[in-house]
């Protein structure tokens, strides 16, 4: 677990908090995000149009306005050339509507994904044959279109490129507006629609503010940092939507998506996907028409279409994800960067799937679609790797590419694909060590006192939340805690702590783990709900980190799991020497993905130095990215894709059988526990049962929990062993955290598989 803030109550933080009438936690969070002084904090907490920058400070805007003035006077036809994603469509709408209001005969053009990203000769020829423009202005594309710009100029068409993508080595020879080009503007984080909005402001002044909803939506959809002017744009855009001042198309999408609370998160997860779905399904112009139309009937019809596209997109994405994941596991699970291609994939969906695989496997991902020998790919990356720089270093093989540090688009011929793949894999291998790929849970602050509604309300002043301004996350550290479903049959859990009560959605399978009596850090997001005009505070759980050490708690948990393995009959394993185990450890340090090291006695780890930097988890891997892990008390539950399990010591009974894992190795030299120390006599079991019966109704959620909290005069492992046998036979149970006895059950000890296996081992 990482914490961005080590001390939220330092003298400096408290002093600023007192001056600004804020809570120290709020000031500490802002400080950790680079907003440190009183002036910076005041500025940040008062977002809005009063912070908008002068658009004429943006390089190329003055020349753009002058050329558009000529176009108006000469009654020229001006084509606005956009892109098929949400940013490009919003940018096209803003520029087209602003030019029209300015008095220019404007024509909007958005290419479909099938013809490729950016300017293309094919689309230029179509535009010339259809519209005969004398001026073409790009939005959200064109910065890498030097060749296409020259082609347009040869056709006597003037070109203005407006874009926000990374700058190529050679810029197109025309008027260019790109926030990445150094100027007096002072901010390079605008999206394509943000650049279009600033040009609209320069052209028609504050009348352009009616397009703030489009600029805000695009900023969020394109994952731009919600800092500096982007924060002001999104704040004003969200406010306009809340106030009912949004465009008809946005209002209709909000209605059809049943958005109850309009904020940046709602736009990101409900509205932006519907705009993007049109382009992904090959009908980007449906989304464009929705944003520029004033016809209520057409708007409703197009909103339904976009909603249906989104439903289809979700279903198709799931199929593509399953296929891509299987291909990844089969061919690329051991790579630091995952590069895959397929003839059948939908080019409009590979970006979504690449993002999903990045999140799951904590590695950069590039997915290519092969179209008649030409591969078009979408790249997505983890925070620690600049994928644009990596691709640039290998660009000699590419037809074209463009993008950002975390996302890029690539085109390449099939014959050059193997060379590019090898070169990029080598580049990542050379420049990034394995620490870059280690997923970690991060919270802003570890809470050590009760969380208050007042603090939760104050944190809402940090809205809008998004990239570079995430909603703050907190953590509490707890041991024994009450965990139970919120109601009978519910998949959601309620977690009680001394600091805040929490909800953990769709986490019923985690109830037993959460109930175990060892230390854990729970990450949560504070949320205020209102019912019957009464406010209540709940933490929404976002993750759990189990703190594994060599305490008796962890030993007992691993011991219990060791007993449970006795229920497995399969014995199809390779029992090897400790020297062989050492070789497997060394080999795993060379290939850092795909191996689980199972251990049941923590003392065993002290003899394997090669594992000292590995993540140590309890029962099963906490991450799905297939990174090599040490699992204490391994219970057989693993994500699909692991290739190998190495048992560093032998559990009691037989080991867990995991069907989907090809190789299993067991250290024949080490038994995890001295099962000979366990007493299996009927007299001992009868006495333990008698002593346990005194504790009927005791608060406990498991045998381990009971053994830690109650001393019945036997060693804790003997107590856990006996209780696990009684649980299996139905003599006892733990009903919602309470030890109960069932006197109606009659059964022999030998009927217990756990008892039978241990008795057999002793004999």
What integer pLDDT is reported at residue 683 of this predicted model? 96
Three-state SS string over 618-660 comes to: ECCCCCCCCECEEEECCCCCCCCCCCEEEECCECCCCCCCCCC
- Contact call for residues 118 and 159 (beta carbons, < 8 A): no
Report the pLDDT value the prediction gives residue 619, as an integer from 0 to 100.
86
Per-block mean pLDDT, blocks of 10 residues, the chain (763 long): 86 96 97 95 97 98 98 97 96 98 97 85 96 97 95 97 93 97 96 98 98 98 95 98 95 94 94 95 96 96 96 94 92 91 91 93 94 89 93 91 86 94 95 84 92 96 94 92 89 94 91 80 93 90 86 85 69 81 91 90 91 86 86 86 91 76 89 88 96 94 90 96 96 90 91 89 77
Kindly state the tokens that stand for 503: 């909800």
All domains in the chain, ordered by first residue: 2-44+442-546 (2.40.50.460), 55-308 (3.90.1640.30), 332-434 (3.10.310.30), 552-673 (3.40.50), 676-762 (1.10.10)
First to last CA, the chain: 45
Closest CA to 400 of 377, 382, 381: 377
What is the rounded CA–CA span in Å between residue 5 and residue 9? 10
The reply to whether omega before 241 is within 30° of 0 (cis) is no
Q: How far apart are CA 621 and CA 632, in angstroms?
A: 10
Indicate the Cα dihedral angle 229, 231, 234, 238, nearest 10°.
Answer: -140
Cα separation of 750 and 690, whole Å?
19
Task: Give the predicted TM-score (pTM) of the model.
Answer: 0.85
Residue corresponding to tokens 């003035």 = 69
C-alpha distance from residue 75 to each of 64, 66, 174, 215 (Å): 16, 14, 21, 28
What pLDDT sits at residue 113?
A: 83
How much is the pLDDT for 492? 95
φ, ψ of residue 569 in degrees (nearest 5): -90, -25
CA–CA separation, 199 vs 137, rounded Å?
Answer: 11
Distance from C-alpha of 432 to C-alpha of 321, rounded to nearest angstrom: 26
d(C-alpha 513, C-alpha 498), whole Å:
19
**pLDDT value of residue 118:** 86
CA–CA separation, 740 vs 706, rounded Å? Answer: 12
What is the reported pLDDT for 570?
A: 53
The pLDDT assigned to 566 comes to: 60
- Residue whose pair of structure tokens reads 């333990």 in the numeric block: 688
* Crossing angle of helices 284-292 and 86-102, rounded to 10°: 40
């Amino acid at each position: 677990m990482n914490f961005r803030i080590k001390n939220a109550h330092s003298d400096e933080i408290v002093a600023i908090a007192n001056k600004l009438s804020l809570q120290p936690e709020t000031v500490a969070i802002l400080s950790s995000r680079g907003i440190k002084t009183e002036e910076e904090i005041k500025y940040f907490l008062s977002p809005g149009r009063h912070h908008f920058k002068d658009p004429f400070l943006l390089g190329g805007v003055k020349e753009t306005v002058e050329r558009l003035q000529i176009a108006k006077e000469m009654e020229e036809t001006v084509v606005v050339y956009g892109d098929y994603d949400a940013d490009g469509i919003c940018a096209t709408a803003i520029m087209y509507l602003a030019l029209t209001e300015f008095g220019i005969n404007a024509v909007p053009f958005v290419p479909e994904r099938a013809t490729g990203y950016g300017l293309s000769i094919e689309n230029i020829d179509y535009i010339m044959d259809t519209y005969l423009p004398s001026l073409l202005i790009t939005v959200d594309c064109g910065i890498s279109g030097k060749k296409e710009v020259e082609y347009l100029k040869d056709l006597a068409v003037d070109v203005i490129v407006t874009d926000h993508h990374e700058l190529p080595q050679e810029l197109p020879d025309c008027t260019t507006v790109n926030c990445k080009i150094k100027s007096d503007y002072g901010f390079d984080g605008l999206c394509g629609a943000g650049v279009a909005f600033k040009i609209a402001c320069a052209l028609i002044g504050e009348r352009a503010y009616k397009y703030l909803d489009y600029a805000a939506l695009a900023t969020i959809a394109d994952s731009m940092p919600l800092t500096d002017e982007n924060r002001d744009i999104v704040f004003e855009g969200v406010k306009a939507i809340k106030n009912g001042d949004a465009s008809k198309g946005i209002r209709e999408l909000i209605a059809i998506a049943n958005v109850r609370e309009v904020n940046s998160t709602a736009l990101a997860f409900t509205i932006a996907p519907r705009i993007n779905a049109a382009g992904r399904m090959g009908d980007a112009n449906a989304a464009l028409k929705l944003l520029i139309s004033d016809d209520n009937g057409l708007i409703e019809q197009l909103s339904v279409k976009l909603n249906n596209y989104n439903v289809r997109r979700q279903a198709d994405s799931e199929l593509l994800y399953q296929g891509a994941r299987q291909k990844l596991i089969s061919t690329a699970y051991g790579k630091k960067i995952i590069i895959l291609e397929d003839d059948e994939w939908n080019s409009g969906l590979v970006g979504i799937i690449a993002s999903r695989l990045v999140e799951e496997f904590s590695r950069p991902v590039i997915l290519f679609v092969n179209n008649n020998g030409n591969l078009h790919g979408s790249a997505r990356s983890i925070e620690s790797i600049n994928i644009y720089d990596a691709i640039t270093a290998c660009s000699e093989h590419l037809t074209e590419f463009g993008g950002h540090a975390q996302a890029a688009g690539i085109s390449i011929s099939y014959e050059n694909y193997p060379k590019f793949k090898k070169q990029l894999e080598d580049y990542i291998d050379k420049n990034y060590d394995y620490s870059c790929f280690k997923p970690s849970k991060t919270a802003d602050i570890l809470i050590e006192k009760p969380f208050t509604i007042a603090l939760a309300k104050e944190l809402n002043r940090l809205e809008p939340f998004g990239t570079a301004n995430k909603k703050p996350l907190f953590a509490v550290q707890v041991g024994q805690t009450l965990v139970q479903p919120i109601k009978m049959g519910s998949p959601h859990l309620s977690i009680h702590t001394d600091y805040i009560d929490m909800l953990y959605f769709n986490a019923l399978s985690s109830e037993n783990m959460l109930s175990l009596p060892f230390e854990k850090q729970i990450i949560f997001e504070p949320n205020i709900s209102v019912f019957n005009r009464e406010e209540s505070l709940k933490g929404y759980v976002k993750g759990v980190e189990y703190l594994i050490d060599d305490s008796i708690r962890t030993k007992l948990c691993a011991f219990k799991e060791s007993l449970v393995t006795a229920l497995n009959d399969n014995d199809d394993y390779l029992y090897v020497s400790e020297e062989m185990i050492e070789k497997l450890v060394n080999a795993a340090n060379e290939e850092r993905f795909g191996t689980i090291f199972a251990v049941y006695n923590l003392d065993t780890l002290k003899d394997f130095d090669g594992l000292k930097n590995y993540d140590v988890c309890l029962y099963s891997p906490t991450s799905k990215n297939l990174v090599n892990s040490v699992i204490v008390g391994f219970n057989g539950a693993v994500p699909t894709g692991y290739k190998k399990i190495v048992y560093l010591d032998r559990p009691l009974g037989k080991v867990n059988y995991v069907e989907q894992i090809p190789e299993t190795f067991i250290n024949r030299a080490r038994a995890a526990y001295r099962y000979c120390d366990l007493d299996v006599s009927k007299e001992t079991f009868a006495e333990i049962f008698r002593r346990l019966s005194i504790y009927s109704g005791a608060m406990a959620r498991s045998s381990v929990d009971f053994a830690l909290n109650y001393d019945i005069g036997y060693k804790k492992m003997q107590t856990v062993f006996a209780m696990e046998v009684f649980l299996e036979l139905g003599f006892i149970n733990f009903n919602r955290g309470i030890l109960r006895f069932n006197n109606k059950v009659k059964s022999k000890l030998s009927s217990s598989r756990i008892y039978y296996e241990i008795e057999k081992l002793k004999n």
